[in-house]
Every structure is written in C-alpha cells, then in structure tokens.
Structure 1
Amino acid sequence: MQKRLIALAILAASASVATQADIVGATAGAYIWKQSWDGNVKAGSDSIDMNDDLGYDDETGKSFFVALEHPVPLLPNIRLQRTDLDISETNQLSRTFTFDGTVYTSTDTVDSTTDLSHTDATLYYEILDNWVNLDVGITVRAFDGEVRLSTTGREGSVDIDVPVPMAYVNARFDLPLTGLYASALANVISYGDNSISDITLGLGYEFGIVGLELGYRNFDVDLEDDDEEAKVTVDGYFLGVVIDI
C-alpha cells in the first residue's frame, strides 16, 4: 500500500509539472514591414499633405516583440513590442505654407522627417487556450518621435513623445494537424476627436517552435491638440518569424 501511495504521488507530481510546463512559456518574433504613408500634418493654420507637399511614398520598417506567460493566478502576462515607424524625404515645394511658425515657399527644397516610432508595454490575460487562443488586456504605447521640416536657415518641428493607453486584443486560430494558423491583433483607443487604431492580420505556418508569418498591418492616427494636428495612415504587408517556447 505504501509503495502504491508513493507511486501515485510521483504520478501526481509529474502531472502537475507537465501542466505547468504547458502554461509557462515565452514567444518572440520579428518582421519586416513594407510601409505606405499617407495623410497630413499641421502645426499652425496650414495642412501639409505628406504625399503632395513632402513627397512621401513607401518605406521599409521593422518590428520585434517578446511575450511572457506564467501560471500565477490574477497576475497578468506581459508583452513588449518595438516598432520603427519613420520616413525621411527631400522634396521641392510647389506652394507656400507655414509649419511651427516657419514659412516655407515654393522656391524651397525641404528636408522632412516624420517619426511615429513607439514601444508597447502590454499587460494581458489569456481568456482561451485551445485551437482558438484569445488574449485581452491594456497596452501603454510610448511614442518617441517627431515631425521635422527644414530648409536653408529655417527649421520647424513638433515632438511626438506621449504615452497613450490602448485596448489590446490578440487572437490566434490554429488549423489542427496542419501547422497553419491565422492571427489578428488590435490596439485601439478613441477619445473625443482623437483616435488611434493599429490592426495586424496574419497567416502563418508553424514547424516545431518556429513559425513563418505573412500578413498586413494598418496603423491609423487621428490626433488634434490646439493648432497641431496629425491624420496619418501607414499600412502594408509584412513578413516575419515567430519563435514559441
């Protein structure tokens, strides 16, 4: 009887360790994003078109993330993500406008940079964990960029360096026995006339702990603060690698 109890205890301990191993893990990923820029910015009375006035078109950026999940009750999981989101261009102006108190004329060649790079810190809970995986939580997105225009002897700039809280939803749908999956991730917020939405859709194939993912990301910003305004859309396809341990 004693030996049987010892054997049962060992089996129970083994089952407990196995269960914990299933719910403790880390995920990391990185991808290259082909970005198409569109929209306008304003720091004063004039709205500046990113395509017509600044000559913006396409750019290539990158993003990487790491997420940690654990079995501690009530304590949220954590996810960190960094996205490089900036574009620079030199363009000959075809009209006169004012930006941040500086006048730019049709005779000026303007160097411009728009930087919306940001770091996301997300606390989330795993709601579902089977062939459908669903996480919900809160993201704090810290921007550390600017909009800068310069020409000979003149320069104007607006800093974009504020933290923004956003709702976070991340879903993954596994196709059993195939290695294929679909994913959707959203960070969104809307308050008054201001809104930010960041939607990522992906299709992936997983072999072992490594997954290859192809997808589309759409990032929309609509912000107003007195005479400063940014209405920007950056979207495009991405290719990434994800490692799930």
Structure 2
Amino acid sequence: MQKRLIALAILAASASVSSQADIVGATAGAYMWKQSWDGDVKAGSQSIDMNDDLGYDDETGKSFYVALEHPVPVLPNIRLQHTALDISETNTLNRSFTFDGKGYAATNTVDSTTDLTHTDGTFYYEILDNWVNLDVGLTVRMFDGEVRIKNQTTGDEGSIEIDAPLPMAYVNARFELPLTGLYASALGNVIAYGDNKVTDMTLALGYELGILGLELGYRNFDVQLEDDNEEANVTVDGYFLGVVIDI
C-alpha cells in the first residue's frame, strides 16, 4: 500500500511538472537589421539633413530580446529588448549652417554621429493563446543616445542629448499557419503626445521547427521629438534576418 502511495505521488509530481512546463515559457531572439537612415535634426534655427548634409546612407545594426511568461494571472509577463541603432559618417559640406551654436561653413569637413540606441522593458498580458497569439502591455524605452557634429576644420563640436525614458503602448500578434511550421507576426510600440511621436513597427514571416525558428522581417522606426529649439525627425527602416528560440 505504501509503495502504491509513493508511486502515485511520483506520478502526480511528474504531471504537475509537465503542466508547469506547458505554462511557463521563455523566448529569446536576435537579428541583424539592414538600416536605411533618413530625416533631419535641429539645434537652433536651421535643420540639418542627414543625407544631403551629413552623408548618411545605410548601416547594419543588431537587436536581441528575451521574454518570460509565467502562470500567475495578476502579474504581467516580461520582455526585454536591446537595439543598437547608431551611425557615424564623415562628409564635406556643400552649404553653411549652425548647430548647437556652432558654425559650419561650406567646404568644411565634419564628423557626425547619430545614436538612437535603446533598451525596452515591456510588461504585458497574453490576451489570446491559440492559432492567434495576442499580447498587449506597456513598454518603457530607455534611450542612451545623442546627435553629435564635429567640425574637422575648426575643431568646434555641437551636440544634443537623447536620453529620456519613454512610455509606449505595446501590441504583439502572432498568427500560426497550422501543420506547416510557418507563422506571421506583427509587433508595435507607439506613443504620441503634443508634437512628439515615436512609432516602431515590426513585421515578420517565420518558420519554426521544434524550439528553433528563423525569421525574415521588416522594421520601421520613426522618431519625431521636439524640445525647445532642438528637434529630431528621423526614420530608420529596413529588412532583418533573425533566429528565435522558444522553450
């Protein structure tokens, strides 16, 4: 009798662990992003075009994330993502302008860096969990960036800081194609207030085999920020290729 009770206890414990494994999950992913930069910045009365004035073109960046989902209904799930988003260029000016009180004349050579690198902390709830998976929540985006322009001719250097935390609405949807291993996903982080707006949208197609998945997607990151006489109107978009591990 005692041996039977022990056996039943072991079976019950095994079933409990198996059930928890079905409920508790972790996802991690990383991708290389081919970035195309466009837009303008201002620190004063004149706008500086990133392509025409600073010579920006394409850059390659990286992004990686990890998400943890748990069975506690009241507490939100957690997702962390870091995106490297910066570009540096040297260019000879074909016009004169001022930036952050510094003068830059035509034919001057300038070194510039625009850094919009950020880390997202997202707290979300899973609303649907079948062939359509839908998550909604709140992202707090921490920028650690700047726009910096240095005049090689005179040594003058102007800059604006982009380092404020930004709360954003978060939506993440995934659509499974049954019996194929294929899926489509769409993720968005958005906020708009006054003259400021940040929109970050990602679309992807993926193929999953076991716990490993491959994704091909497109990401569009649009920033419109204004603070007194400082402005940044920047769009970074392009295709990415990534890998996902879903446990």
Give the TM-score of the pair, scaled to structure 2: 0.94
The size of the alignment, in residue pairs, is: 245
What is the distance in 1 between the residues matched to 2:156 and 2:7?
80
| Amino acid of the structure 1 residue aligned with 2:92 | Q
Q: Show CA shifts across 1:21-58 (max 9, x none).
A: 11101100000000000000000000000000000010
Q: Show CA shifts across 1:54-78 (max 9, x none).
A: 0001000000000111111201110
Q: Percent identity?
A: 82
What is the distance in 1 between the residues matched to 2:136 and 2:158?
40
What is the distance in 2 between the residues matched to 1:14 and 1:73?
23
The match for 1:222 is 224
What is the distance in 1 between the residues matched to 2:53 and 2:147?
14
Q: CA deviation at 1:15?
A: 4.4
Match of 1:168 among 153, 161, 170: 170
Runs of at least 5 residues in structure 2 that lack an aligned partner in the other structure: none
Question: Does the residue aligned with 2:19 lie in a helix, a strand or coil?
Answer: helix
Match of 2:240 among 226, 238, 243: 238
Structure 1 vs Structure 2 CA RMSD: 1.8
The match for 2:215 is 213
What is the distance in 1 between the residues matched to 2:242 and 2:85?
16
What is the distance in 2 between the residues matched to 1:7 and 1:107?
84
Q: Which stretch of the first structure deviates more once superposed, 34-43 or 15-24?
A: 15-24
| Amino acid of the structure 2 residue aligned with 1:19 | S
The match for 2:117 is 117
Q: CA deviation at 1:9?
A: 7.3
The match for 1:196 is 198
Question: Does the residue aligned with 1:72 lie in a helix, a strand or coil?
Answer: coil
What is the distance in 1 between the residues matched to 2:187 and 2:71?
23
Q: CA deviation at 1:120?
A: 0.3
What is the distance in 1 between the residues matched to 2:185 and 2:22?
20
What is the distance in 2 between the residues matched to 1:205 and 1:69?
21
Runs of at least 5 residues in structure 1 that lack an aligned partner in the other structure: none
1:8-27 aligned at under 5 Å gives the runs 14-27=14-27
1:1-245 aligned at under 5 Å gives the runs 14-152=14-152, 153-245=155-247
Q: CA deviation at 1:3?
A: 10
| Amino acid of the structure 2 residue aligned with 1:217 | R
What is the distance in 1 between the residues matched to 2:87 and 2:221?
14
Question: Does the residue aligned with 2:20 lie in a helix, a strand or coil?
Answer: helix
Give the TM-score of the pair, scaled to structure 1: 0.95
Q: CA deviation at 1:6?
A: 8.8
| Amino acid of the structure 1 residue aligned with 2:97 | F
